[in-house]
Amino acid sequence: MIEIQVGSTPDEKIKLEKTFNIRTTINGEIFTPCSVESPQLIVSSDSVSNSDTYFYVPYFNRYYFLQSKDESGDITTLTLICDVLMSFKNDIRNCPLIAERSSNVFNGYLTDGEREFKNYSLNQYIKLGEFTGMQNWLVGV
C-alpha cells in the first residue's frame, strides 16, 4: 500500500514548476511489474474523481500526469506517466545548457527567423541641406 497525492494542475505540461492543487491523499497498490516512469496504480474507484489528473507518489518521489484510467467496479486502475520537469525541477535548474530562444535572456541582434515582416516598408526622409542660387559667371584665367 502506497500513499498517493491526487489533485490537478492548471499549468501546461511544458511548464517546469507547476502548481499542484492537492485534493486529497489516498492509498493504492502498485500493479506489478511497473516502471517508475509509467506506473500503474490500483485504487478504489470512490477515492478518485474525474478532476484528478495530476498525482504525486512519494514512494517514487515523482509527479505524474494521468495517462489513462480504467474502472472496473470498485477498482480503478490509474496509468500514470512521469512529469519529468516537475519531478526533477531542482536538478534541471542547475543543468548546463545553451539557450536557443528565451523570453528574458537574449540577443536582439541575432537574426530571428520566426519574425514576420509586412510586405511594405517604412520610409523616412531626412533633409540635410540644399544648394540654392546661381553664382555669377566665373571665369578662370
Partner 1 sequence: MAIISLYTGLYGKDLVKYEMNSVDFTSGVWQNPETQPDNFDYQLTGAYKSINAFTSGENWCFGITIPLRGTTYIQDTGTEICPLLPYNCDESQYESGAFSLAAQRPADFNIYFNDYCTPKSLGNRNWYLPCQNSEFTENQIFIPKKGYMTSHFYTFGEGYFSLKHLWTFTNSMSKNINDRAVPFYSTVKDSTVYNTSELTGSYRMGGIGGDSIFPASFVFRNNGAADQQPVEWRGDVTVPAEGIAQSRVKFKFTAFTLPASLTVKFGASSDGSFGGRNVYQSNLTMPNEAINAIGVTILTYSPDGILQKAVIIGTTLDFWQPKNQIGNWGASSGIEGGDGTFTAHSDNTTAQDVLNKIEEKKFLRKNWISNYSNYGIKLYTGFFITDLFRELFTSDFINRFLQSVYNPLSSILSLHQMPEYYNGIKLIPNDINSPVNSTIHLSGYNTSVSAVQTVNSLNSFSAGRVDLSSLYFGSFPDYEPYTQITLNLPFCGKISVAPSLCMGGYIDIIYTIDALNGGVCVNIVTTDRNDVSYPAYSVSGNCAYSLPVIGQQGGDYLKGFINTGISAAATMITKSPLTYLGTVKSAFDTVSTSHYTQSTGSVSGNISLLDDWTVWCEISRPEWSNPEKYSQLIGIPSDVSGTINSNDADFSAFTGFLKCKRFEAQGISGATDKEKDEIEKLLTSGIYI
Binding partner 1 (rule: CB under 8 A), the pick from 5, 17, 63, 64 is: 17
> Which of 87, 28, 48, 40 has the alpha carbon at shortest distance from 68?
40
Q: Which is nearer to partner 1, 41 or 82 (CB)?
A: 82
Q: Applying CB under 8 A, which of residues 24, 61, 67, 68 lies at the interface with partner 1?
A: 61
Tell me the torsion sign for CA atoms 113, 115, 118, 122.
Answer: negative
Stretch that binds partner 1, among 40-48, 50-58, 65-73, 131-139 (CB under 8 A): 131-139
Among 87, 73, 107, 96, CA closest to 9: 87
CA–CA gap between residue 57 and residue 99 (Å, rounded): 32
Site membership for partner 1, residue 37 (CB under 8 A): yes
Q: Which stretch binds partner 1 (CB under 8 A): 2-10, 11-19, 26-34, 47-55?
A: 11-19
- Say whether residue 72 binds partner 1 (CB under 8 A): no
- The SS3 of residue 17 is coil
Query: Interior CA angle at 27 toward 25 and 29, to 5°?
Result: 145
Contact between 32 and 39 under an 8 Å Cβ cutoff? The reply is no
Interface of this chain with partner 1, residues 90 to 119, rule: CB under 8 A: 91-112, 114-118
Any contact of residue 33 with partner 1 (CB under 8 A)?
Answer: no
- Binding interface with partner 1 (CB under 8 A): 11-12, 14-17, 36-37, 61, 82, 84-85, 87-88, 91-112, 114-118, 120-141
